[in-house]
Amino acid sequence: MGKIVLTADRPTGKLHLGHLVGSLENRIKLQEDKNYSKIFIMLADGQALTDNSKNPEIIRDNIIQVLIDYLSVGLDPDIVTFCIQSQLPALSELNFYYLNLVTTARLERNPTVKTEIEIKKFGKEGLPVGFYTYPISQAADITAFHADVVPVGDDQRPMIEQTREIVQKFNSIYGEVLTMPDGLYPKNAKSSRLVGIDGGTKMSKTVGNCIYISEDEKSLKKKVMSMYTDKDHININDPGKIENNVVFTYLDVFCEDRHFSEYFKDYKNLDEMKEHYKRGGLGDVACKNFLFNILNEKISKYRVSRKKWESKIGDIYDIVLNGTKVAIETTERTISEVKSAMNIDFFTDKTKIVKNWEQCLSV
């Protein structure tokens, strides 16, 4: 049997370019790869509520947006099983048992959660327990599907590590039941954690520094034109800096040599363009226009596909309903295996339990 893939997104908003290069493009490759027999993609609405308890409607309303994003970029519903986390009770059950395998000290050391706590400004008194423990519920998600591979961005490394520790611990106590997963990360470090258009933290729905996959041409242009470059590059002839210059970070991720013959004939490749910018004589507006053309070309095909799917909401409902039914079956099977390994499968085999209870009384 081929490998199993599980990955998820929080329906906190439409998907952005960070998702595209950080995870979606890897998922699209996997669906063409015969080594993978099953791909599950989950809308993590339960996890999204851990920091959105006061406005749950945002999460509910974005489920359809994220589903349309998936389908627009080319995830194929005939290959991928799409499902909704809140409809899978086995995940909460697994989480219930895994909570005992992790210490609060270990949770405190999770660098992604630490950063997110700071960004979200919960303060000392306002940190929800569900948010603090979400790496454990993520381990429940991954293991419930017996996932071998989890295609994610760099911010998820600590979650994969935490999951691996839980698997190791569970299996050493109860026997080899859970599958040890591996993260699958983009090769390019800049894609693995695409920075936001503000040049600050990673592009993130909650921070609001995103270019969305569904962005229209006008707002895409506005966002690219507002990007940070080099604050000391005031006049066109001033020498410019490439490091931490958001426009060049995006060019590093999205630009290919062929883009020069199409949109910027002055240069053959990005190195030539960078050299000119560094010595002075190349203006920011020209660089931004070039980037705009590249990004617009990339996402314009998704806009067309999005329009098509927007007129088929009933079909999308059926896709996710059928996928969730498959996911319920899969995850229920896992929780049965887990409870059997833990010897708490009280009501599946009366003879076994009665015998066991008789033995307990005889000692």
Q: Which residues bind ligand ATP (CB under 6 A)?
A: 9-10, 12, 18-19, 22-23, 152-153, 155-156, 192-194, 202-206
Q: Letter for the amino acid at 347?
A: F
What is the smallest separation between the CB atom of 213 and ligand ATP, expressed in angstroms?
A: 12
| Cβ-based nearer residue to ligand ATP, 204 or 214 | 204
The Cα–Cα gap between 282 and 284 comes to 7
Distance CA 97, CA 356 (A): 22
Cβ of 151: how many Cβ atoms within 10 Å?
23
Does the annotation count 339 as an active-site position? no
Q: Is 120 a catalytic residue?
A: yes
* Closer by beta carbon to ligand ATP, 156 or else 162: 156
For the bound state, the minimum distance from the C-beta of residue 7 to ligand ATP, rounded and expressed in Å, comes to: 6
Round to whole Å and give the CA distance between 67 and 82. Answer: 8
Q: Which of 205, 223, 274, 288 is catalytic?
A: 205
Taking the C-alpha atoms of residue 230 and residue 239, their distance in angstroms, rounded to an integer, is: 10
User: Whole-number minimum distance, CB 298 to ligand ATP, in Å?
Assistant: 15
Residue nearest to ligand ATP (CB): 22
CB of 48 to ligand ATP, least distance (A): 6
Catalytic residue among 120, 169, 221, 241: 120
CA separation (Å) from 77 to 23, 38, 82, 152, 310?
Answer: 17, 12, 7, 20, 15
CA-wise closest residue to 12 among 67, 50, 59: 59
Catalytic member of 38, 202, 223, 274 = 202
| Nearest distance in Å: CB 12, ligand ATP | 3
Task: DSSP letter for 180, please.
Answer: P
Q: Is 202 a catalytic residue?
A: yes
Compare residues 202 and 274 and give the one whose CB is closer to ligand ATP.
Answer: 202
Token output for 118: 């700071």
Q: How far is CA 320 from CA 66, 147, 194, 314, in A?
A: 12, 19, 29, 10
Output 171 or 201, the one with its CB closest to ligand ATP.
Answer: 201
Q: Which is nearer to ligand ATP, 92 or 206 (CB)?
A: 206
Burial letters for 232-244: b for 16+ Cβ neighbours within 10 Å, e otherwise? ebeeeeeebebee
- Cα 81 to chain centroid, rounded: 16
CA distance 303 to 346: 53
Smaller CB separation from ligand ATP, 185 or 264: 185
Give the residue from 260, 305, 233, 230 showing the smallest Cα distance to 72.
Answer: 305
Question: Cβ 246 to ligand ATP, closest distance in Å?
Answer: 12
Active site residues: 120, 202, 205
